[in-house]
C-alpha cells in the first residue's frame, strides 16, 4: 500500500472546473475528478497555514486552544506514527513556514524530507541594500517592505519555469516516485505553496489570460478591503488564475506518472488545500482579516481510495481537514489514537459514519459551525475580544519566539483531555489579525443563500446552531475562557438570552459594506496621512471627533505610526459610510490648507 498527498495552499474551489463554471484553464483538475471522489462539503478546521497542518498531523482542532505554532509534545503526528509502524514517509515542499519558528518541528516527523527555497519573501538569497535602491513606500509596515524586497530578489534567481520553486518541488516528488515505484509501504506528501500569494508565474502561463492592463505590478494583494480600480482587481485575478494553471500542470505531471506506472490499484491519492483566497469577492482581498466565508473554508478535496474503488462520483457528506490523518492511518492498517476527532473517509463514503456539525476558525476570531445547511459565525460579546489565552508548551509565533514580556504573565493551566496529563502554559494572547466583534455574529442559510449574501435573523435556527456550537466546543475540550469570550454558558445550556445575531446586525451590516474605489474619494492625501500626525491639526481633529470619536481617545495611540484613516477602513475598523463622511468633510474648506501643511512637514 502506498499513498500520495498533493497539497496546495490557498486553492480556490470556486475557480476549479469540477466545482462549476470558471474562466480558469485547469483541465487536469477535471481529469482528476474522473479518477477520484469529489467532495462537495469538505470544510477547513483551523486556519491559516500551520494550524491547518497541525490538524493534518493530529486529526483534531487547533484553533480553540492556540494560534500559529509548532507541534506540541503531547501531539500525535500521523507521519510519525506511520514512520514508527514501518511506513516510509517523505515530505517534498517549498512551503517556507515549515522552517520558521512557528513551524520548525513538523518536517522532522517524516522519515525523510526536502525543502526548496524562495517563496513569499523567504530569506533565501542575500543581497545587501544599496544607496541607489528604489525608494520604499513608508506607509507599508517594515516587515512587509522587507518581504517584498526579498521576494523581488528571490524571483531574480528563478529566470525560467524550470527554476521556479513549484517546478523544483514537483521534480523532487517525481524523483521520489521514480525511485520507489516498485517499493511498498510509503507515503509521499508533495506540498506546494502555490497558488498562495504572491502570484509568481512565467510567461507561458500568463499568456493564457492576456488582457489590457497598464497599472502597477500587482500580484500580491494585502489582507484588507479592496480600494483598487476594477482593472487592477481583474489583473490580480488573472495573475492568480495563471498560477492555478501552473498548479494544474503540476497535477498533470503526477497523474501522468500514476497512469504510466499503473499505480491506481494500490496507491491512495489525496489532493487538498488548507483554505481559499478572496480576490475581490465581497470587497475583500485575501483571508484572516474578514469572517471565514465559504469561499475561504469550503474546500476542494479529491480522494482516490483503493479500499473503496470509488471514482468519478461526488460525496455530499460533511467532511473536514481533521479527517485526513485517520484516513491515512487506517489505510496503512493503523488505528488512530484516542485523541483523534476526525473520521476515516472510507467509513464516510460507506455511510458507516457521519458528522452532525463541523467547527472552523482561527484563534481569536469567530468560532464558526456548520451542519451542512446553516453556517453560524459567533462573535465575542465585548469589543475587547477577551478573555483570550494561548495554551502551549511550545511558545513561538510564526516568525518569532514569545517575548519576555508575554511570558512574564504566563500561568500553569490544568491538563486538557488531549494533553496526556501535561499542564500547559496559559499565556494571555495578543490581538487577532481582525477583531471579530467588528463583524458581528452572522447566520446564513446555505440552501436559500449559497453565496452568503443575506445574513439570516432567525432566533430558533440561531439557538439550535448555538447549542451545536457549544456542544462541539465541549467535545474539543475548549477552555472555559472561550465560552466566556463568546458569551456562552460553560455550564448548562444556552438559551434565547444568549443570542447575538439581532443585537449585532447593524454593526455587521455597516462593516460588511465594501469600500469605494480610491478614485471616488476626495482628500485621499489626508486619508492616507498617519492618524497621529493628522490629529495634531485641530481642524482635522474636529472632523475625526465628529465621525469617529473613538480614534481620538488615548488608547488609540497604540496604532502603528504609519496607519491612517484609509488603512483603518481597509482593516474594517472604520465602516465605509464613516470613511466617506470623513473624506467629504476633510475635503471641504480645510483640504487645501491641510494638504499644504502635510506636505510641509
**Cell 509521499, residue?**
188
The residue-averaged pLDDT of 75-89 equals 98
Look at residue 599 and tell me whether its pLDDT is greater than 90: no
User: Looking at per-residue confidence, does 467 or 600 come out higher?
Assistant: 467
Look at residue 342 and tell me whether its pLDDT is greater than 60: yes
Quote the DSSP letter at residue 399. S
598/527 Cα distance (integer angstroms)? 11
Q: Supply the mean pLDDT for the chain.
A: 95
The residue-averaged pLDDT of 83-96 equals 98
In 3D space, the residue among 370, 255, 252, 242 whose CA is nearest the CA of residue 304 turns out to be 255
| Helix/strand number for the chain, H first, E second | 21, 20
- Per residue in 414-432, pLDDT (tens digit) is 999 999 999 999 999 987 7
Look at residue 329 and tell me whether its pLDDT is greater than 60: yes
Q: Do residues 3 and 268 make contact, with C-beta atoms less than 8 angstroms apart?
A: yes
- Per residue in 352-403, pLDDT (tens digit) is 888 999 999 999 999 999 999 999 999 999 999 999 999 999 999 999 999 9
Percent of the chain at pLDDT exceeding 90: 91
**Cell 490557498, residue?**
10
User: Looking at per-residue confidence, does 560 or 18 come out higher?
Assistant: 18
- b/e sequence 526-556, b meaning 16+ C-beta within 10 Å: bbbbbbbebbebeebeebbeebbeebeeeeb
Predicted confidence at residue 479, as pLDDT, reads 98
Binned at pLDDT 50, 70 and 90, residue 82 comes out as: very high
The residue-averaged pLDDT of 78-107 equals 98
- Per residue in 523-558, pLDDT (tens digit) is 999 999 999 899 999 999 999 999 999 898 855 556
C-alpha cell at 341: 476527532
In 3D space, the residue among 344, 453, 431 whose CA is nearest the CA of residue 385 turns out to be 431
Predicted confidence at residue 591, as pLDDT, reads 59
Predicted confidence at residue 134, as pLDDT, reads 84
Predicted confidence at residue 593, as pLDDT, reads 64
In 3D space, the residue among 276, 279, 306 whose CA is nearest the CA of residue 294 turns out to be 276
Instruction: Please report which residue ranges of 457-529 form alpha helices under DSSP H.
Output: 459-475, 480-486, 501-512, 524-527
451/443 Cα distance (integer angstroms)? 12
- Per residue in 289-326, pLDDT (tens digit) is 999 999 999 999 999 999 999 999 999 999 999 999 99
Quote the DSSP letter at residue 414. P
The residue-averaged pLDDT of 589-596 equals 58
The residue-averaged pLDDT of 430-450 equals 93
Amino acid at each position: 500500500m502506498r499513498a500520495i498527498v498533493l497539497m496546495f495552499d490557498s486553492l480556490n474551489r470556486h475557480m476549479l472546473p469540477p466545482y462549476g463554471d470558471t474562466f480558469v484553464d485547469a483541465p487536469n483538475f477535471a481529469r482528476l475528478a474522473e479518477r477520484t471522489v469529489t467532495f462537495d462539503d469538505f470544510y477547513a478546521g483551523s486556519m491559516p497555514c500551520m494550524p491547518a497542518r497541525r490538524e493534518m498531523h493530529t486529526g483534531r482542532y487547533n484553533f480553540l486552544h492556540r494560534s500559529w505554532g509548532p507541534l506540541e509534545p503531547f501531539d500525535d503526528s500521523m507521519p510519525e506514527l506511520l514512520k514508527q509502524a514501518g511506513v516510509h514517509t517523505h515530505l517534498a515542499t517549498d512551503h517556507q513556514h515549515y522552517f520558521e519558528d512557528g513551524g520548525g518541528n513538523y518536517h522532522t516527523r517524516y522519515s525523510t524530507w526536502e525543502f526548496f527555497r524562495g517563496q513569499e519573501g523567504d530569506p533565501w538569497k542575500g543581497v545587501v541594500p544599496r544607496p541607489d535602491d528604489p525608494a520604499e513606500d513608508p506607509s507599508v509596515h517594515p516587515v512587509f517592505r522587507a518581504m517584498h524586497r526579498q521576494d523581488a530578489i528571490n524571483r531574480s534567481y528563478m529566470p525560467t519555469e524550470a527554476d521556479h520553486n513549484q517546478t523544483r518541488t514537483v521534480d523532487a516528488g517525481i524523483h521520489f516516485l521514480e525511485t520507489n515505484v516498485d517499493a511498498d509501504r510509503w507515503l509521499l506528501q508533495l506540498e506546494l505553496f502555490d497558488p498562495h500569494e504572491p502570484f509568481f508565474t512565467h510567461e507561458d502561463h500568463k499568456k493564457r489570460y492576456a488582457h489590457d492592463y497598464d497599472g502597477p505590478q500587482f500580484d500580491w494583494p494585502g489582507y484588507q478591503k479592496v480600494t483598487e480600480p476594477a482593472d487592477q482587481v481583474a489583473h490580480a485575478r488573472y495573475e492568480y488564475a495563471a498560477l492555478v494553471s501552473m498548479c494544474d500542470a503540476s497535477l498533470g505531471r503526477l497523474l501522468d506518472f500514476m497512469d504510466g506506472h499503473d499505480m491506481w490499484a494500490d496507491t491512495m491519492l489525496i489532493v487538498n488545500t488548507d483554505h481559499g483566497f478572496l480576490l475581490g469577492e465581497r470587497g475583500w482581498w485575501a483571508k484572516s482579516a474578514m469572517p471565514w466565508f465559504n469561499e475561504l473554508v469550503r474546500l476542494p478535496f479529491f480522494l482516490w481510495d483503493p479500499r473503496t474503488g470509488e471514482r468519478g462520483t461526488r460525496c455530499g457528506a460533511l467532511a473536514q481537514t481533521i479527517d485526513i490523518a485517520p484516513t491515512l492511518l487506517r489505510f496503512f492498517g493503523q488505528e488512530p489514537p484516542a485523541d483523534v476527532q476526525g473520521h476515516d473517509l472510507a467509513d464516510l463514503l460507506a455511510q458507516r459514519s457521519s458528522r452532525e456539525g463541523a467547527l472552523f476558525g482561527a484563534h481569536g476570531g469567530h468560532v464558526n459551525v456548520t451542519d451542512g445547511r446553516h453556517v453560524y459565525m459567533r462573535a465575542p460579546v465585548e469589543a475587547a475580544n477577551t478573555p483570550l489565552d494561548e495554551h502551549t508548551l511550545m511558545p513561538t509565533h510564526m516568525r518569532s519566539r514569545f517575548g519576555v514580556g508575554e511570558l512574564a504573565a504566563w500561568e500553569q493551566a490544568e491538563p486538557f483531555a488531549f494533553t496526556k496529563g501535561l499542564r500547559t502554559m496559559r499565556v494571555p494572547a495578543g490581538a487577532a489579525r481582525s477583531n471579530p466583534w467588528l463583524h458581528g455574529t452572522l447566520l446564513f442559510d446555505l440552501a436559500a443563500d449559497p453565496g452568503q449574501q443575506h445574513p439570516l435573523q432567525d432566533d430558533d435556527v440561531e439557538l439550535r446552531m448555538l447549542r451545536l456550537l457549544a456542544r462541539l466546543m465541549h467535545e474539543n475540550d475548549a477552555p472555559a475562557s472561550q465560552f466566556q469570550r463568546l458569551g456562552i454558558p460553560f455550564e448548562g445550556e444556552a438559551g434565547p438570552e444568549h443570542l447575538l445575531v439581532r443585537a449585532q446586525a447593524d454593526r455587521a451590516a455597516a462593516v460588511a459594506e465594501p469600500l469605494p474605489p480610491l478614485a471616488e474619494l476626495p482628500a485621499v492625501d489626508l486619508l492616507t496621512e498617519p492618524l497621529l500626525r493628522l490629529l495634531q491639526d485641530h481642524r482635522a481633529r474636529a472632523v475625526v471627533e465628529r465621525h469617529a470619536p473613538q480614534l481620538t481617545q488615548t488608547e488609540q495611540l497604540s496604532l502603528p505610526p504609519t496607519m491612517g484613516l484609509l488603512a483603518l477602513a481597509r482593516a474594517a475598523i472604520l465602516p465605509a459610510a464613516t470613511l466617506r463622511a470623513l473624506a467629504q468633510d476633510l475635503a471641504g474648506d480645510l483640504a487645501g490648507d491641510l494638504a499644504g501643511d502635510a506636505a510641509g512637514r
